[in-house]
Structure 1
Amino acid sequence: MRLSKFLANAGIGSRRAASRLIEAQRVTIDGHIACHTDSVLPGQQVCVDGHPVSHGVPRHYYLFHKPIGMDCRLLPQDPSSLLHYLQSHFPPQLLLYPAGRLDKDSRGLLLLTNDGELTQRLMHPDFHHEKGYLVTLNKTPHKDDIAAIAAGLDYGDGLTRPCRIELLSNNVDDNTQLRMWLTQGKKRQIRRLWRARGYRVDDLLRESIQTLMLGSLAEGQLRPITAGELEELKAALSLMIRKQP
């Protein structure tokens, strides 16, 4: 088995995260620094930062309402990192990580897991999984700007995919909130889209990730996902994968 897939299956992170560990020379096989082309054979010992990695790690899935000010990057030296929250709420042998990121100045739904394959499906842009957001702007958006963003807009980082946008009120004279559903996750995409049309995003709340919903989960709180939620998510992702060319 390829090393990155082995690490993902063992709950270390997504394949992309595993590749970063390998590139940083933090992974060894039988005591030797590993490289991306290595495969793991039965009986070989794989270690990350000197700690052995094994197969058969139980999968865990939690929904977390990330507050504003928390950084999703798992950086030990950053006091605002999500890593410190995880370390204070879970035993050290349970290596959870977010399946995707949310900007530091945004809040809302994160999926925390150690399932590398599921994370790969959720994070890979080719799968077009949908995420929903509640957006608060500094002023009422004009219908032409809504249409331009919904159709796809190039704000300097390539043309974005079309997205769905829904105003929350028919009172166009006093409505700064809307919902957006995106199938891609460029860096600070929503804020940059609206900035390109002359608006400022004052608040950004992620409400959904594919079939997973934030619901009434309070800010800063987490809960395990139910068996039904997990089954529904996997079924949706499987259907999306089959639709890919």
Structure 2
Amino acid sequence: MSKQSRKKSSKTSGPARFAAKAVAKSSKVKSGSAKSGGVKSAAKSGASSKTPAKAGNKAAKPPVKATVKKTSAAKPTSESAPSPAGLAPGMKAHGFKLPRDGGGTASLADYAGQKLVLFFYPKANTPGCTKEAIDFTRLAQAFADSGTVVLGVSADSVKAQDNFRDKHALSVPLVSDERHEMLEAYGAWGEKSLYGRKFLGIIRSTVLIGRDGRIAKVWRNVKVDGHADAVLAAAKEL
């Protein structure tokens, strides 16, 4: 090959080489950007895939168990315990032994084989309770003739019962239940309401017990007028 033809060949191959280099460079840049874009998108993809994984891990953890601190149930007291559901005819009467007016005691066993009336009244020397006690005293002989003993029961002290008896010439024994034990047992202690205010107290009630020691009849939320006469009529029929 002549020098002239070699020069011509190098002249034509120079620009071609340059173009080839430019194309190679361009493809390299594109390849690199595509590569870096792929890496970034892969990174993003990895990041987004991690988030659900974490959430999945949290959901997979067992739930925290609720802890409840157990406290021992407070024993009911006469001040806080509600009255029992109530007595019903045929039930065995609850035994009791409590102080009474005059300094003695009264118990269920004292009246075994006799009919017994227990009238529970809220407070000595109040108008309703005074009238009720006087009515039972008025009929005391009629109750005795029917083989029935009558006892009045309240939460008043023995001293208050003595005063009540003397002031109104009462002949029926008056039992003092200051701890409300008998009152609660016979359902005569419970929630009351006065002028919209609720409180615990004695519910005016009467219980008739037969000769067999079982409940014969129960009166709740007693209205004083005519009550003693109604109880006497029930005792006579028993």
TM-score interval (norm. to shorter): under 0.3
* Pair member with larger Rg: 2
Q: Flag the structure with higher helix content.
A: 2
The two structures have a TM-score, normalised by structure 2, of 0.23
